[in-house]
Chain A
Amino acid sequence: MLELIPNQLGYPLLSLLIFVPVIGGVLLLAVRDARAARWIALVFSLAELALTVPLLANFNGAVPHMQFGESMPWISAWNIHYKLGVDGISVLFVGLSALLTVISIMVSWTAVTDRVREFMIALLFLEAAMIGVFLALDLFLFYIFWEAMLIPMYLLIGVWGGPNRLYAAVKFFLYTLVGSVLMLVAILAVYFAAGGTFDVLTLMNFKFGHSFQMWAFAAFFAAFAVKVPMFPFHTWLPDAHVEAPTAGSIILAGILIKMGAYGFLRFSLPFFPDAAIAWTPAIMVLSVIAILYGAYMAFAQTDFKKLIAYSSVSHMGFVTLGIFALNSQGLEGGILQMINHGVSTGALFFGVGVIYERTHTRVIADYGGLASKVPVYATFFMIITLSSIGLPGTNGFIGEFAIILGAFQHKAVYAVIASLGIILGAGYMLWLYQRVIFGTVTNPHNEHLTDMNLREVVAALPLVVLVFAVGLYPNAAFQVMHASADNLIRHVHAKAQVLPAAIQAASTLTGH
């Protein structure tokens, strides 16, 4: 039974996490100067990052409960509460969101020159909505944040994106909206089925009927699978990634696509355990397809960003594979892999952004031999590539290892195929690295490239540190999430077992 432990800090930490960026964004409305806008945005995002320090420091990883809880009535006619809390599953994402927003602002410092103020407002509002998604413990509140995210992300892609940005922005918006509205209907159905509550913790303990679970799970799946994105709902992602500005790509890869998987963990599994178990074979197969298909497509790409986008499809396949293995290794591996992927793919897009700002091309063939020209960049890119491949000692290894361990316990064949995906991943990433960094400079434009400047190094540093920190001491991350993940797994299996007996009892009563 999950409980909401009220906030003891003396100040509403979680509300501050949501409203600090909002205040920053509103304040920016009054600023005209681009320089001032950059600094104000940076200050507010740093303040937000500073707030994650007491969050992580005071977080108790030993209990699975929701912590720093806040709750007050919001729309009492519909029994809706403004209810926030954080547990081992969500706490790391809050930290990651805050970190990646700071990095996004720094990487856009000189890259974005058009309508800087609006850009920063969109980023800050996006941050608030993202963090709100991870903190909300009321389905209605969650949905508000979930949908509100679309607006700033749509604008980021559409206004500051590449040449084909309009198509990509609309595709992103419509794909995710269609998935989300189906979930909305399911949310309403859940509300009435459970006797009129949107409270997540109450709903976790509510036992829904079997057929209800099946279709409600499907509707939630529509929203989350598009967001992850799972094969075959992934087609918006390469377009969105390619056209988005660097900051947009970092946030998209780092946080937004994690929300689908987070949704599975927070809602789908605990609400509809029977349906989750029933759907598992299909989802496992889709995950494996995503792993192989994403990797296969990554090999064929000539565009830097598109390659990374397809690698994301592949990596997110690992995440869903781990989650739906429905054991604690797989689940914890899945959560850790989401954080890892956020760090490493965020860093990859950061790397692309750094070089794109100098060369204005994303075609892989336009590069080559960068090692001699920009050694710092080459080193940074090497570390990130290895992390993405999952070399032991980096963060990527731990997550993938745990997932494969979990998948093996579920069904060995998935683990075998997934391992193949790791090999393919090493293939396309190393090949990419070779084509871009090694060899001789083939493109005369690259002769006078400048290396990463101080601002870029400072922005990249936290990501590099995280790569090794998680890689060498993964226990820190596991300790935070273990209690919650373990509780979730036990909850799912315990709750699912109740049902067959209940059906039997019902059928004996009716005489069938």
Chain B
Amino acid sequence: MVISLRGFMTQLLPLYPELMVITTGLAVLMLDFLVGRKYKALLGWFSLAGVAVSAVMTIKLMGITGSFFGGTFLLDPFAVYFKLAFYVVCGLGILVSIKYLDIEDIHRGEYYALMLFATSGMMLMASAGDLITLYLGLELMALSVYILAGFMRRDGRSNEAGIKYLLLGSFSSGIMLYGMSLLYGISGTTNLGGILAFLRGADLANPALFLAVVMLVVSFGFKVAAVPFHMWVPDVYEGAPTSVTAFMSAGPKVAGFAVLLRMFAITLGPLHQHTSVILAGIAVLTMAFGNIMAISQTNIKRMLAYSSIAHAGYALVGLAAGGADGAASVMLYVLIYSVMNMGAFGVVIMLRKSGVRGEDIADFAGLGKTNKTAALLMLIFLFSLTGIPPMAGFIGKFYIFKSAVQAGMVWLAIVGVLFSAISAYFYLRVIMLMYMYEPKEEFSLVQSPSLALALAISVTAVIVIGVYPSGVLDFARASLTGIL
């Protein structure tokens, strides 16, 4: 049988968005040789264009649903939702990077290529229909982000971040593989649909199955930075270039939750009663530890690192709640979280200038006087992270706790809202510094069109979703029809 090129291309159709992102990454690597030192920003805009094209492709593919390539690759609304979220994260990540890389003097093409490869890995994770594809996507993402974390190779902290992330990440990947192999051993298939079909008729009291589930929880818990698998987070977030921190506080976490949902809410759905208890316990630990540790931080990146741990905790509440609403609440939450968190990091980047790291929380003193726009943006992002209406963060938390109450886990909702109230303390501290203290010295902020664009997008999203969430909310819920 002769396979024409045309036929081959048609077969690849479901993979077009992924291919587009990877091709863009490869093109960036080659173009890097042609572009002079001063014009590296062009590569950023080029990458952005690539992401935009993939977004269009994903939207065009929205009508098509099914599993491809022998069941290893799924194209469903669920995957589409997450892919669109990844485009947002990647786009914002690129936008906040362009100027920052210049300041740090690490403006190289590989940076954008790695970001694109990481994004393609995430996309693969969201579309994975098979444990192998899932692992492949995860490693593609993780390896790219390890390098990005250590991208400031002359900086000790960045090196430490990269190596720490790599070592602990590899370890967690090992545990994941072990869990997956157990799952394969029990069910006889690596296909997610096959595992689900097997579990529906299987004896769920199998201790090996329990072990497999625990190992998956541990390894995915590592990826989303859940307590007690969070040890790497503060150091890596602090050491990595701030633009990478922004990207990895959102991207890998969202991807992690995509996989958690695919595994625990869908594939391991029959086990929900058992997994729910474990996830709820981890959620409580994560919210408690993240919020309490964040209080005592003096470095803004470390504070946001602990805050991102806490936010993983809220999302885990939705996962523990389960059901269609639980899953939808997690999907909505991670999207909102990404936007507001990257916005906050965008403002942190504004404070970076050569010579001064601009990472002390104290550096925010008097920002409300010296730069009103930056302070107002930070105010909005921080209140959103706290979960105060009318910001999007409130809508996200509301849906999470709503699904918890719906699932009868009122106690979990109470714990969640109380820790959410505690979190107000450390977010307010930054606001207090910005508005209620005098500026220490004259400082000029980093300003660039790309950064301004990123902040404008985030703040608009935070307010629009906060005031009129129906659009995103209905989309998230619709993305689960036929799946849950």
Which residues of A come within 8 Å of B, CB atoms? 74-78, 115, 118, 140, 143-144, 147-148, 150-151, 154-155, 158-159, 165-166, 169-170, 173-174, 177-178, 181-182, 184-185, 188-189, 191-192
Contacts and interface: CB of A to CB of B under 8 A. Distances in A.
Given A75-B470, A143-B389, A166 B432 contact: yes
Contact of B405 (A118, A150, A170, A188): A188
A170 B383 contact: no
Nearest to B328: A77
Contacts of A151: 383, 388
Given A147-B389, A148-B389, A185 B414 contact: yes
- Which 5 residue pairs spanning A and B have beta carbons closest together? A181-B417, A188-B405, A144-B389, A177-B421, A178-B421
A144 B428 contact: no
Contacts of B390: 144, 148
Contact of A77 (B388, B410, B473): B473
A159 B405 contact: no
B432 A169 contact: yes
A157 B390 CA distance: 20
A498 B414 CA distance: 30
Nearest to A117: B372
Given A144-B389, A181-B417, A188-B413, 10 more contacts: A76-B474, A118-B368, A144-B394, A148-B390, A170-B428, A173-B424, A177-B424, A181-B421, A185-B405, A185-B414
B477 interface: yes
B388 A148 contact: yes
B35 to A, nearest CB: 40
Given A155-B435, A159-B435, A150 B421 contact: no
B228 to A, nearest CB: 26
A158 B435 contact: yes
- A76, A118, A177, most chain B CB atoms within 10 A: A177
B327 to A, nearest CB: 14
A185 B428 contact: no
Nearest to A175: B421
Contacts of A140: 398
Interface in B402-437: 402, 405-406, 410, 413-414, 417-418, 420-421, 424-425, 428, 431-432, 435-436
Contacts of A158: 431-432, 435-436
B405 A174 contact: no
Given A74-B470, A178-B421, A192-B405, A185 B477 contact: no
Nearest to A184: B417
Contacts of B413: 185, 188
A174 B421 contact: yes
A159 B375 CA distance: 13
B418 A178 contact: yes
16 contacts: A74-B468, A75-B473, A77-B470, A78-B473, A115-B368, A140-B398, A148-B388, A159-B368, A159-B435, A159-B436, A170-B428, A173-B424, A177-B424, A181-B417, A185-B417, A189-B405
A219 B428 CA distance: 25
Given A143-B389, A159-B436, A185-B405, A174 B473 contact: no
Contacts of A76: 470, 474
B247 interface: no
A310 B473 CA distance: 46
Contacts of A144: 389-390, 394
Contacts of B474: 76-77
B11 to A, nearest CB: 37
B469 interface: yes
Nearest to A196: B406
B469 to A, nearest CB: 6
Contacts of A177: 421, 424
A173 B428 contact: yes
B401 interface: yes
Interface string B179-202: 000000000000000000000000
Contacts of B428: 154, 170, 173
Q: How many B residues touch the partner, as a band?
A: 20 to 34
Contacts of B469: 75
A97 to B, nearest CB: 19
Nearest to A193: B405
Question: Which secondary structure dominates chain B's binding surface?
Answer: helix
Residue from A118, A165, A185, A191 whose CB has the most chain B CB atoms within 10 Å: A185
Nearest to B434: A159
A144 B428 CA distance: 19
A150 B388 contact: yes
Contacts of B388: 147-148, 150-151
Given A75-B470, A170-B428, A165 B406 contact: no
A398 B432 CA distance: 43
A151 B383 CA distance: 8
B479 to A, nearest CB: 13
Given A77-B477, A147-B388, A166-B432, A174 B414 contact: no
A405 to B, nearest CB: 40
Interface in B363-392: 368-369, 383, 388-390
A75 B418 CA distance: 25
A294 B432 CA distance: 31
Nearest to B415: A185
A185 B401 contact: yes
Contacts of B432: 158, 166, 169-170
B128 to A, nearest CB: 28
B296 to A, nearest CB: 16
Contact of B406 (A169, A181, A192): A192
A181 B428 CA distance: 17
Contacts of A178: 418, 421
A143 B414 CA distance: 16
A414 B390 CA distance: 42
Nearest to A170: B428
Contacts of A182: 414, 417-418
A188 B402 CA distance: 6
- Tell which of B394, B406, B421, B468 has the most Cβ of chain A within 10 Å: B421
Q: Tell which of A155, A165, A169, A188 has the most Cβ of chain B within 10 Å.
A: A188
A140 B316 CA distance: 23
Nearest to B435: A159
Contacts of B394: 144, 147
B318 to A, nearest CB: 13
Contacts of A165: 436
Contacts of A173: 424, 428
A144 B383 CA distance: 13
B425 A174 contact: yes
A159 B401 CA distance: 32
Nearest to B476: A77
Contacts of A155: 435
A331 B406 CA distance: 35
B313 to A, nearest CB: 15
A155 B394 CA distance: 19
A81 B234 CA distance: 42
Contact of A174 (B368, B402, B424, B477): B424
Nearest to B405: A188
A376 B109 CA distance: 75
Nearest to A180: B421
B436 A166 contact: yes
A39 B414 CA distance: 45
A188 B413 CA distance: 10
A165 B470 CA distance: 39
Contact of B425 (A74, A115, A170, A184): A170
Nearest to A179: B421
Contacts of A166: 432, 436
B194 to A, nearest CB: 33
A123 to B, nearest CB: 15
Interface in B127-142: none
Nearest to B429: A170
B23 to A, nearest CB: 38
A139 to B, nearest CB: 12
Contacts of B414: 182, 185
Contacts of B369: 115
